[in-house]
Amino acid sequence: MDLIRYLFRFKIMAFIKKWDLVNFMLGSIDILAIALAFQCAYYLNYQETGGIFLNQKKFLVLFIVILPLWLIILYFIKNTEIPRTKRYRVMFFEYLQSAIIMLALLIITFLALKINAISAIFQIELTVFGFLLLFAVRILEYKVFKTFRAKGYNQVNIVLIADESSQSFIDSLLLKPEWGYRIIAIFSTSLLLRKKYEKSIIFLPEENLAVLNDLIEGNIVDEVLYLKSKALPAEVRKMVSSCEELGVIFRLKYNDNKINLTNAIKTIIANTSFLNFINTPNSPYELALKKIMDLNISLFMMITLSPVLLIIALLIKFSSRGPVIYKQARVGLRGRKFNLYKFRTMVYNAETLRKDLDAENEVDGPVFKIKNDPRVTGIGKFLRKTGLDELPQLFNIMKGEMSLIGPRPPLESETIQYKRWQLRRLSVKPGLSCFWQIKDDRNNIKFEKWMELHLAYIDNWSLRLDLMIFFKTIKTVFQRSGS
């Protein structure tokens, strides 16, 4: 398509990916599609009135009520996500389902409340136009994402445990790069699979399955797929336990649709059914709202705090030598590396001076921290005390590398010293603030307790918890109880 080629030619898609505006854009397009459906139905039924429907109070109120309701319906049937392997006809019926639910709710509500101000014809036309427009834009987005993923973006890194019956599934993933699945390694005893794939994919004998733990720890692995036609219960239990310990998704292929496990979620990849086992937050609706909150709150804060950001930048620039923004390599979701942004609070050669201070480290574990660090500048002490030095991480959130709330992003030098159970902190996006940030005595917390706090956040995550931490973080800023 010309549009897709244009997007890549001018690196627009790369820019969108870099700043992770995808979710924000998809949500905005859905809102525009629903608004356009309103306008089309309004024009057909109220031509003599003219103008746009927003000028009419009753239609404006109806739009305000219907918009979030329709979006929630789309969230619940998972139509807000861009699928990887879903067929067009499946998407068609899913969007049709959302329109039918919306129409039923409209008719029931209008009849129950005896509302006659808006005709039934308008309600029917609204849902028809809404269905057509939402489905059309999602198909276009799906095509764009196929090209996007085929170029190597938005990929999911997977490890396969396979046998000869898995060949067609593996071929489908390799022949469809637009699905965005990158096979890191294959474990199998099959000579046929070895001969076919060992030249292009890491191929390991199944008797070396113990290496899987090291493979996951040393590489960015998002999912482990068990594809063998006959599952070995002891082997599966061991791998489920191993993956859950690290927060990696484990998918088990199954053929019996009657299977119903309370701790597993059913999904389909390339027409193959899987049971998903994961012990990280997995509420699609709440996670979608978390993404929306991350983007909107961080954007709002960047705009409203822009005068503060400018003043801080000027104070740093004119008080000490060196750049205003300090960039440091950190480790994010499942080991993905990114540059963390902070206002510089130390002298420009702080890293060089660090080696002379290692003996004075006041915290245990792989973390380095001393109370009266001589490298910290005058303005830097104030910024650290208030936590204002962290504000540039709002840009990390806009880029999709971080979230507002989540475990703090560690240094790579720290993660290589982690114990195995501590690596699960990398199973969610790092955050600007978390449990540790709102503790009054956080600099006295032992390293292992610090890790336990991060895992407690993951295990007990909810939007309510995020909001509680967010408001307590604001309180911490005003109380100047930072380090």
Q: Clarify whether residues 327 and 469 are in a common domain.
A: yes
Q: Clarify whether residues 114 and 165 are in a common domain.
A: no
pLDDT of residue 483: 56
CB 160 within 8 A of CB 227: yes
Domain boundary among 150, 184, 215: 150
Query: Chain-centre distance of CA 483, in angstroms?
Result: 29
pLDDT of residue 78: 63
Q: Clarify whether residues 361 and 260 are in a common domain.
A: no
Task: Give the amino acid at 395.
Answer: F
Name the residue range of residue 73's domain.
2-150
Least confident of 61-75, 216-230, 252-266, 366-380: 252-266
Say how far apart CA 186 and CA 444 lie, in whole Å: 45
Say how far apart CA 119 and CA 107 lie, in whole Å: 10
Give tens-digit pLDDT for 107-120: 888 887 777 777 88
CB 222 within 8 A of CB 246: no
Q: Clarify whether residues 295 and 270 are in a common domain.
A: no
DSSP 441: T
Average per-residue pLDDT for the chain? 82
pLDDT of residue 343: 94
Query: Which residue, among 180, 169, 273, has the nearest Cα to 222 in the 3D structure?
Result: 180
Q: What is the mean pLDDT of residues 121-150?
A: 87
Give the Cβ contact number of residue 244 at 10 Å. 18
Give tens-digit pLDDT for 20-58: 556 667 777 888 898 999 899 888 887 777 678 888 888
**Above 80 in pLDDT, residue 183?**
yes
Buried b (16+ CB within 10 A) or exposed e, 435-451: bbbbbeebeebebeebb
Q: Clarify whether residues 367 and 327 are in a common domain.
A: yes
pLDDT of residue 16: 45
**Above 50 in pLDDT, residue 15?**
no
Structure tokens at 334: 């499942």
**Above 80 in pLDDT, residue 230?**
yes
Structure tokens at 237: 């239990």
Q: What is the mean pLDDT of residues 153-163?
A: 90
Least confident of 1-15, 67-81, 269-283, 375-389: 1-15
Instruction: Using pLDDT thresholds of 50, 70 and 90, give the confidence band for residue 482.
Output: low
Give the Cβ contact number of residue 141 at 10 Å. 17
Give tens-digit pLDDT for 284-316: 667 777 887 887 888 889 989 999 999 999 999
pLDDT of residue 133: 92
pLDDT more than 90, % of the chain: 20
pLDDT of residue 63: 86
**Above 60 in pLDDT, residue 85?**
yes
Residues with Cβ within 8 Å of residue 355, at least 6 apart in sequence: none
DSSP 80: S
Q: What is the mean pLDDT of residues 184-207?
A: 90
Q: Clarify whether residues 138 and 174 are in a common domain.
A: no
**Above 60 in pLDDT, residue 471?**
yes
Domain boundary among 150, 175, 191: 150
pLDDT of residue 216: 82
pLDDT of residue 10: 45
**Above 50 in pLDDT, residue 467?**
yes
Q: What is the mean pLDDT of residues 65-78?
A: 77
Say how far apart CA 191 and CA 413 lie, in whole Å: 40
CB 221 within 8 A of CB 215: yes
Counts of helices then strands in the chain (DSSP H, E): 18, 11
Structure tokens at 77: 């049937």
pLDDT of residue 438: 73
Q: Clarify whether residues 381 and 298 are in a common domain.
A: yes
Domain count, the chain: 3
Least confident of 77-81, 89-93, 320-324: 77-81
Q: Clarify whether residues 183 and 144 are in a common domain.
A: no
Domain boundary among 249, 279, 309: 279
Q: What are phi and psi of 357, to 5 degrees?
A: -110, -5
Identify the residue with better confidence: 467 or 112: 467
- Burial of 430 by CB count in 10 Å (0-12 exposed, 13-18 middle, 19+ buried)? buried
**Above 50 in pLDDT, residue 411?**
yes
Q: What is the mean pLDDT of residues 236-265?
A: 77
Sign for the pseudo-dihedral over CA of 295, 300, 302, 305: negative
Give tens-digit pLDDT for 421-462: 888 888 889 999 887 777 766 666 778 888 888 888 888 888
Q: Clarify whether residues 74 and 217 are in a common domain.
A: no
pLDDT of residue 166: 92
Q: Clarify whether residues 298 and 411 are in a common domain.
A: yes
Q: Clarify whether residues 163 and 43 are in a common domain.
A: no
Q: Clarify whether residues 213 and 265 are in a common domain.
A: yes
pLDDT of residue 284: 66
CB 408 within 8 A of CB 390: no
Query: Chain-centre distance of CA 374, in angstroms?
Result: 38
Domain with residue 238: its CATH number is 3.40.50.150
Give tens-digit pLDDT for 442-453: 666 778 888 888
pLDDT of residue 128: 92
pLDDT of residue 360: 62
Q: What is the mean pLDDT of residues 77-85?
A: 69
